[in-house]
Amino acid sequence: MKKIIALVLVLVMSVLAASAMAETVKIGVFEPASGDNGAGGKQEVIGIEYAHSLTPTVEVDGTTYDVELVIVDNQSATDKAVSAAQELVDAGVSIVLGSYGSGVSMAGGEVFADAEIPAIGCSCTNPGVTSLCDYYWRVCYLDPFQGTVMANFARDEFGAKSAYVLSQLGDDYTTGLATYFSKAFEEMGGTVVSEQFTEGTSDYTAYLTNAINSGADIIFCPTSTTVAALLIDQAASMNVTLPMLAGDTWESSVILDAAKGTGLTICVSTFFDEKDESSPQASEFVQGFKAWLNANPDKKTNNGGNDIVAAVSALGYDAYMVAIEAIKAAGSIESTAIAEALPSVAITGVTGSISFNEIGDANKDMAYIKKANTETGAFDFVKTQTVAELAQ
């Protein structure tokens, strides 16, 4: 009898000990792993996973919590995003990171707001993500800025007076960015012809022919990477000579692979450049991240099979670090406490210093412009552009 009691006691003790040790805080990762933006979503996730591998615990009130990442796939679709967001809420996450793609972030935002769970967008650039949702913050710049940057670049670099702007009907990211670009370009005295295509279109030759016939000097086409691959391939086979400009989404291996060996001129604006050595944090991140990718073949596959550091990975890393700081500042793993502490969090991230304004957007004012090198299959750095420079 004594033996049995002892055994039961030991079992109870060990269960208690285990549960005391297994204090965890769950961080939701709300990203597409499939669909039109799956390639980019995967790159953002590996940035978050790398940050998690460096900082796997967080200390709150003297207790060390293990951070558990709960990763869901929102399939790049606004209808699927809602149920993916609900899955995170049901899993009991304290804070959410993501998503790549503004449309899915806006769809998920409502679910997070209802559950009073704060979310930090990594690379969703549409203003509506934060302005329409009280529980969304973000660590990247916004489309009005990005659109203005590219409009200025089109004028300064290519002397463009007219632009052909192509966007996807019903997609918040591409229509938003296209609108802001057109507005900025027209304010500078340029003319714009804009057209839209519907989801699932695979023949873009008519659009490209329209672009040429419209007499435009450049094409601005901030599409998803899946569309970009088709667009680039068809532009190459039609020998299109107009420069093609796009936003942050196009800074992807998908674009480099499609453009390699063609004679196209492709320029993109983005959040981060791996060759920029002005910031020690960034250099350290780039080195560490490359080593981590090369040590983990499956992560390298998710990065497109190479160790080029995408801006979205850097943003994923920063978003995770902001989340950790917010949990520390809140002194609690309750989502409402974190949401209260988040506005005052400020860190020096790898993509620059991050602090939030009253809407929840990061005070960021610099974009990197890169050009796809069609011979080496890499992005070449062209220039940086800040808000102050644009005002002049």
Query: 112 vs 220, which CB is nearer to another protein?
Result: 220
Residue with tokens 């978003």: 319
Is-contact 353 345, C-beta < 8 A?
no
Contact segment (CB under 8 A) with another protein among 15-23, 233-241, 307-315, 356-364 equals: 233-241
Contact segment (CB under 8 A) with another protein among 62-70, 206-214, 339-347, 365-373 equals: 206-214
Which tokens hold the place of 290?
């490359």
Q: Is 217 in the site for another protein (CB under 8 A)?
A: no
What is the H or E stretch that residue 290 is in?
helix 280-295
Strand partners, 190: none
The letter for the amino acid at 197 is F
Q: Is 257 in the site for another protein (CB under 8 A)?
A: yes
Residue 387 half-sphere exposure, CB side, CA atoms within 13 Å?
Answer: 8
Q: Which of 207, 271, 272, 356 binds another protein (CB under 8 A)?
A: 207
For the beta sheet containing 24-31, the strands, ordered from the edge strand earlier in sequence to the opposite edge, are 57-60, 63-73, 24-31, 95-97, 119-121, 136-138
Q: Which of 202, 298, 391, 392 binds another protein (CB under 8 A)?
A: 202
Q: Is 392 in the site for another protein (CB under 8 A)?
A: no
Instruction: Tell me, residue by residue from 278 to 307, as one string, x for binding to another protein by CB under 8 A and - for no binding.
Output: ------------------------------
- Helix, strand or coil, per DSSP, at residue 20: helix
Which tokens hold the place of 191?
């003319």
DSSP string for 102-154: HHHHHHHHHHHHHTT--EEESS---THHHHT-TTEEESS--HHHHHHHHHHHH
Tally of CB atoms within 10 A around 271 = 26
Contact segment (CB under 8 A) with another protein among 116-124, 194-202, 276-284, 348-356 equals: 194-202
Report the alpha-carbon distance of residue 86 to residue 89 in Å, rounded.
5
Q: Which of 59, 66, 156, 203 binds another protein (CB under 8 A)?
A: 203
Residues 14-43 that bind another protein (CB under 8 A): 33-36, 38-39
Q: Is 98 in the site for another protein (CB under 8 A)?
A: no
What is the H or E stretch that residue 5 is in?
helix 2-21
Contact segment (CB under 8 A) with another protein among 89-97, 221-229, 244-252, 290-298 equals: 221-229
Contact segment (CB under 8 A) with another protein among 44-52, 232-240, 289-297, 309-317 equals: 232-240
Q: Is 159 in the site for another protein (CB under 8 A)?
A: no
Q: Is 163 in the site for another protein (CB under 8 A)?
A: no
Preceding amide of 283 cis, omega within 30: no
Residue with tokens 């004594």: 2
Q: Which of 197, 271, 356, 368 binds another protein (CB under 8 A)?
A: 197
Contact footprint for another protein (CB under 8 A)? 33-36, 38-39, 73, 75, 169, 195-198, 200-203, 205-207, 209-210, 213, 225-226, 229-230, 233-234, 236-239, 254, 257-258
